[in-house]
Structure 1
């Protein structure tokens, strides 16, 4: 006797806006660079006296994980703000290794572009969707 099982249709994916997509991509790529920055802090022993160099690896790893998690939260306004906080933390890392300021400027600029231009694209797309009459078939 065969048992019939009905498989439910897969749940459709949530539509992601341009701001969410672009910001999460920037944070994902930046997470790699921040992890490597932690390795640089370790390798150059750039942390102040009294702080073990391996804390650079820990800091880079924690920041990389936070950036990946924040990339999943940028659908919310507070997620975008959290991304900005992480950008500031990367910039503060320049006190230990000045090259991190270059990382902060480049990725901060890309994050700014992603959030600002992405939000403008989302608004424009919403206006176009609202003004386009639905297809009558």
Structure 2
């Protein structure tokens, strides 16, 4: 039997804010996992909590960062990314180095979302101008 070849599915266009922010969250997930190992190795968990919970917390947060990078096309996805940035900075209460990591990646996430949104607006404006020019040319 011969089956018909399906046309490849069109890939969804991603905006600059979504692309840049997902790159930041992807790299941050690696660092957060390593931060969990640091909490374990330094036994920096609060009193009464086993140190291996540091590995669990780092692993879970790393997975959540990767999953968040998949929903950045939504406004709530960007907000969720900001929540994770705040949570990582608050990890500095357990180990001050995590606050430094959180602030650095928070700054990169801010740049990615703010500058990315600016680029998305500029690209939309240019596409609209190009469409207007094409319509004007076809209308003559």
Alignment TM-score > 0.5, same fold: yes
Q: How many aligned positions are there?
A: 135
TM-score (norm 2): 0.93
1:71, 1:51 → 2: CA distance?
30
Is residue 41 of structure 2 the alignment partner of residue 59 of structure 1?
Answer: no
- Of residues 101, 104, 115, the one that matches 1:103 is 101
From the two aligned structures, give the one with the greater helix fraction.
Answer: 2
Which residue number corresponds to residue 128 of structure 2?
A: 130
SS in 1 for 2:48: coil
TM-score (norm 1): 0.95
Is residue 68 of structure 2 the alignment partner of residue 70 of structure 1?
Answer: yes
1:76, 1:119 → 2: CA distance?
12
Q: CA deviation at 1:4?
A: 2.0
Gap regions ≥5 residues in structure 1: none
Gap regions ≥5 residues in structure 2: none
Per-residue CA deviation, residues 52-83 of structure 1 (Å, 9 max, x unaligned), is: 00000000000000000000010100000000
- Of residues 39, 42, 47, the one that matches 1:41 is 39
Root-mean-square deviation over aligned CA pairs: 1.3
Which residue number corresponds to residue 50 of structure 1?
A: 48
